[in-house]
Amino acid sequence: MPTPDSRSKSQEPQIRFAFGANNYKLLLIGIGILIVGYALMVGGGSEDPDVFSDDIFSFRRITLAPIVVLIGYGAVFYAILKKPSHKE
């Protein structure tokens, strides 16, 4: 019977993580895109509560920012579902 010290490295159990390095990179890129999208939504309010400002209805806040946020969520979703490559 072989002793535990006599086992070769190929016989030792391999530890595999759910995410690979590329998955983490894509996840961080997706989170960065989300931060940019939410930053695009900021602003447009009026300093005086009695005065209405039409700045809240700008193209940036109504159209561009939601599209950027959806792209960010798509990138995060893809990073989670992408099968990692286990090359050694």
On whether residue 10 sits in a domain, the answer given is: no
pLDDT in tens, 48-85: 888 888 888 899 999 999 999 999 999 999 999 998 87
Q: Is residue 67 part of a domain?
A: yes
Q: Measure CA of the first residue to CA of the last residue in the chain; give whole Å.
A: 30
76 located within any domain: yes
Q: In the numeric block, which tokens belong to residue 54?
A: 């039409």
Residue 70's domain comprises: 16-81
For the whole model, what pTM was predicted? 0.74
Residue 1 maps to a domain = no
- Looking at the structure of the chain, the number of domains it has is 1
pLDDT digits (tens, 9 = 90+) for 16-34: 778 888 999 999 999 999 9
Tell me how crowded residue 80 is: count the other CB atoms within 10 A of its CB: 13
53 located within any domain? yes
Q: Look at residue 29 and tell me if it is in a domain.
A: yes
Residue 73 belongs to a domain: yes
- Is 72 contained in some domain? yes
